Amino acid sequence: MTFSIHGLAVARGIAIGRAVLVASSRVDVAHYFIEPAQVDSEMLRLVQARDAVHGELQSLHDTLPKDSPPELAAILEVHLMLLHDEMLAEGVTHWVKDRLYNAEWALTSQLDVVARQFDEMDDPYLRERKGDLEQVVERLLRHMKGEAHVVPHVSSKRSGQSRQQDLQLEDSMDVPLVLVAHDLSPADMLQFKQSVFAGFVTDVGGKTSHTAIVARSLDIPAVVGARTASQLVRQDDWIIIDGDAGVVIVNPSPIILAEYGFKQRQAEVERERLSRLRHTPAVTLDGQRVELLANIEMPEDSPAALGVGAVGVGLFRSEFLFMGRIGALPDEEEQYQAYRRAVEGMKGLPVTIRTVDIGADKPLDRAHKEEAHLNPALGLRAIRWSLADPAMFLTQLRAVLRAAAHGQVHLLIPMLAHAREIKQTLALLDQARSQLDARGEAFGPLKIGAMIEVPAAALTVKMFLRHFDFLSIGTNDLIQYTLAIDRADESVAHLYDPLHPAVLRLLADTIAECRAQGKGVSVCGEMAGDPALTRLLLGLGLRSFSMHPTQILAVKQEVIRADASRLEAWAQSVLLSDDPAELMGL
C-alpha cells in the first residue's frame, strides 16, 4: 500500500531506492559496512558474545538465592531461550553475510524485525516477550561494546567488491539504498559520508540540526523530523524521498515512480547547467565582488570546495575530528596534520578553522549526550567547553598555529558572549604561541575572528570589533537563541524563522557596523547557502558568504543576476516589515 510521510526538507533532490533501517537501540551502536573478507570474523564476534552472555545468564540462574521468587528463574530461562532463538540467529547471519552489516547493526536490525512480529501477536503473554528479547540483545551489544573494538571507516564503495560478493548481493546491489533511522548523530552521518546511500530520512531533527547540516554537505536528498517514519517503513520497502518538498513516499505505485523518475532527471539537468558557472567570477551586475566560501567538516572535503570554485574555507567545523571516537581526543599532532591537510588541500586559499564546538546536538558520543546538561544548547558548549578545559584548548590552538605555517589560516571562535571569555581566549592563544616558541616549533600568523551566534554578541559588536580582525555570523545559532527555538527539535521547527524581524535586525546591524569599521564580516550559517535569501543578504551589505560546497553554484547564480546597489533600499523595507517573508514572496 502506498502512503506518504511528511517531514522537513533539508537537502534537495529526489532519491528513489530501497529502505535500509537503522534500528534505534538503548546501547550506542556503530553502523558501517564490513568488507566481504571480514564476514567470518564478524560472525565470530557474534558467537563469542552469545557464548559470553550464555555463561552470564546461566551462572545468574544457577546462583539464584534459594528464597528468590520462582519467576526470576523462569525469566532467565526465557532469556536463555531467546538468546538461542533461531529466527534471531538466522536473521543476524543474513544481515552480516548478505548485506555486509557490522555485527551490532545486524543485531539491532534483526531485533527490529522480530520485535514487530511480537507486536503483531494476539497472545498478550507472547507480546510482552518483546521486552525480554530487547534485554537479551542489549546484553549482547554491551558485550561487544566491551571489546577493544575500533569503529572502522565505512567500507569502500560496494562496487569495489569481488564478483562473487556481487552475486551474493544481487537483489540489493542494483538498486540505490536509502537510510531510514529514528535519529542519526552527526558522527553517524560522517560514517555514512563515504557510503552508498542515495538519501536518508530521520524521525527527529530540525532544519538546521547538525545532522541536517551534514546531510546537506553530502548532497543527498534528505528529510528529517518525519516523526514515525522509522516505525512505518519496513526494511526493503521501496521509497521515494522528495528532499524539496520534505515528503517520503512509501511503496509508490508505478505511475508515481515514473513521475518522480522524471523529476529526478530534470534535477540532474539543472545541476549540469549550474556546473557551468564553476569558473564564472561571483560579481554582481553592478560590479560588486562577492566572496563565496565553503563550509567543511573534514580536510577531505577540500576538493569538493575547490571543485565548485569556492575561494576559501569560511568554516571548518573542527569538532568533527573530535566526535565518534572511542577513547582519547585527537592530540596536537593528529590535529595539526588534519588542519595542514585542509590548508594544503585548498592550494593557497584561506582556511578558517573554527575551534571545537562540542555540546548541544554535537555530543562527543551518545554516552556524553545522556550525561549532558538538561538543556545542552544553553550549557557547556563551544567556547565554554574549551575554556573549561584549558589544556585541551591549548592543544588545539597550538595545532592551528602550526598549520598556519603552511598557508593562510584564520582562527574562528564560536559562541562568545562575554568580554571575559574574549580575554581568556586571547590570553590562551598567547600562551599557545609561547609554548611553541619554547619548543622551537614553527608556526604562522593568524587572523582571529569571532562568531556572532548569541544575541548578546550581536548587541555588543563594537566591543567584539575592538578585539577581532573579522566576524562571522552563525545564523543557525543566532536564530535559535534569539527566538528561543531549539534548532534540533522538530516540534518547534515551524517557529524557527530566519526572516523574523528581530533576527534580521541583529544581522543587519552587525553587517553595517563591520562595514563602517572596514572589518570583514561573513555569514556562515545555513542562511548563507539559501539562494532564496541571497538578494536580501546582498541588500543588507553582505559580501562574504560561507556555505556547503553543494550550495555555492546556486548562490552564485543569484549573485551574478543581482544588482546589489538597487537591492539596498528594498532590503531596508524588508527590515522594517512586520512580515518580511510575505514581502519577499516566500
Q: Choose, by CB under 6 A, the member of 25, 161, 355, 476 that binds ligand PEP.
A: 476
How far is 402 from 334, CA to CA, in rounded Å? 12
Distance in angstroms (rounded) separating the CA atoms of residues 227 and 446: 44
Distance CA 477, CA 507 (A): 12
- Annotated active-site residue 210? The verdict is yes
Residues 263-322 interacting with ligand PEP (rule: CB under 6 A): 315, 317
Contact 285, 563 (CB under 8 A): yes
Among residues 111, 524, 571, 575, the one that binds ligand PEP under rule CB under 6 A: 524
Handedness of CA 341, 343, 349, 352 (dihedral sign): positive
> Distance between CA 418 and CA 307 in Å, rounded?
39
- Closest approach, Cβ 524 to Mg ion, in A, equals 8
Total residues at interface with ligand PEP (CB under 6 A): 11
Closest listed residue to residue 357, CA positions, set 327, 401, 394, 387: 387
**Nine-digit cell at 52?**
559470553
In 3D space, the residue among 364, 15, 363 whose CA is nearest the CA of residue 201 turns out to be: 15
Residue 402's alpha-carbon distances to 121, 147, 433, 437, 443, in angstroms, are 63, 36, 9, 11, 4
- Smallest gap, in angstroms, from Cβ of residue 249 to ligand PEP? 30
- Does residue 524 carry a catalytic annotation? yes
CA gap 557, 283 in Å, rounded: 10
Over the Cα atoms of the chain, what is R_g?
Answer: 26
Which one among 183, 453, 490, 558 touches ligand PEP, defined by CB under 6 A? Answer: 453
Q: Which is nearer to ligand PEP, 113 or 213 (CB)?
A: 213
548 φ, ψ (degrees, to nearest 5)? -60, 140
Q: Which does 525 bind (CB under 5 to 8 A by kind): Mg ion, ligand PEP, none?
A: ligand PEP
* 186 sits near Mg ion (criterion: CB under 5 A): no
Binding track over 64-103 against ligand PEP, x by CB under 6 A: ----------------------------------------
Marked catalytic residue, from 31, 143, 524, 548: 524
For the packed helices 332-345 and 390-403, what is the interaxial angle rounded to 10 degrees? 40
Q: Which of 79, 143, 182, 210 is catalytic?
A: 210
Judge contact between 432 and 425, C-beta under 8 A.
no
Q: Which is nearer to ligand PEP, 229 or 478 (CB)?
A: 478
> Which x/- pattern over 470-489 shows residues binding Mg ion (rule: CB under 5 A)?
----x--x------------
Number of residues that bind Mg ion (CB under 5 A): 3
Restricting to residues 419-478, name those near Mg ion by CB under 5 A: 453, 474, 477
Closer to ligand PEP by Cβ: residue 402 or 548: 548
Window 202 to 241, contacts with ligand PEP (CB under 6 A): 213
Binding region for Mg ion (CB under 5 A)? 453, 474, 477
Question: Which residues are known catalytic residues?
Answer: 210, 524
Q: Which residues bind ligand PEP (CB under 6 A)?
A: 213, 315, 317, 357, 453, 474-477, 524-525
